[in-house]
Structure 1
Amino acid sequence: MPKIVDHEQKRKLIAESAWHIIEEKGVEHASIRAVAAAAGLSPGALRHYFSTQDELLLFIVDYYLTRGATRAEGLEISRIPMKAAKEILLQLLPMDAEKRTAAGVWWIFAIRSLTSSAVQAKKDELTDGLHYLTKAAIEILSNAELLPSSVDIPFETLRLAAVVEGLTILALLRPEHYTPETVEQIVTRHLQDLCSRATDR
């Protein structure tokens, strides 16, 4: 009988093998040949999927972030506005091992986009996705009338995105200080401070 190829399982194997190399040795070592060897495939078999390292990197980003998006779609958001906004934001932060991997992949990719035009368009797409979710969190609070009527939603969206990205970097670099509990507390305090302006008039 012909051998049935589980393409999703192979995608998972390739993505995880590539990420292990990047974690241990750096992105420059995640060549087609090295990833193929780590995944137990021939270079020719891997080139069937990717012809360049940038194509491979794009795939790794898509793989991990698509998994994150799928997980987020299945999330039941609280009916309590403040809690709902926080839940959305915590989906963007490295709160567990899988999210840490996804965040690490994203930052490797973001740095690569500074010198590779091949991945810049994808970088913009992903950054726009971050802003979409931070705006959604802000609008939940606004629609619940928890924010000052004069709030500048575009500005607060950018400010909140900066908080999320800053926390992501620090949680990756200094996890002993920026634990999941501390990260959640910082997000909560930021949202509370934003909402408190409504009573400071």
Structure 2
Amino acid sequence: MNLFVPTRDDAMMLLKEYNKSDSLIRHALAVEGVMGYFAEKFGEDKQMWQVVGLVHDLDYERYPDEHCKKSREILEEKGWPEIYIRAVVSHGWGICSDVKPESMLEKTLYAVDELTGLIASTALVRPSRSVMDLKAKSVNKKWKDKSFAAGVDRTIIEKGALMLNMERNELITDTIMGMRSVAEAIGLK
């Protein structure tokens, strides 16, 4: 039985060891904030959810062609518990992983990963350049424009919302709220 419980410091050290890009680190911080928000909403382990949020794209910068696969190897090598590893790998379901999200942790990560990018992009084109005054209505307007944040796969967000039994609007609102908790760190205050 694995007794190692990864801390935020463990996650940050790994994240910065494998990622130098400011945008990837900001994305990890955004997902960490959102995962913490949802953990509280669902009555789950906030630290675990945030740690998973921080390392979910651990291998993306260095090993883009082996995304999710390399994360599994790295985390196993570091002795991380399978529950964390499986969550990280499952966020790439249907893209770079065949591990389907099953737990609330996995489904939430799957649902919010792409959405944080759409929300950040929407915030950046507003006069305030902030998530602090952003509403779901603005994100939904940009949602319809497929050329806006074209790299964001909206079908993944929709599948994630379905998995969580949430309306898209509620998912967007909650994700914005989670991003507000880290707005300064991600440059969107």
Shorter-normalised TM range: 0.3 to 0.5
TM norm structure 2: 0.35
TM norm structure 1: 0.33
Higher gyration radius (CA): 1
Which structure's relative contact order is higher, taking Cα pairs within 8 Å and 6+ residues apart? 2
Instruction: Report which of the two has the higher share of helix.
Output: 1
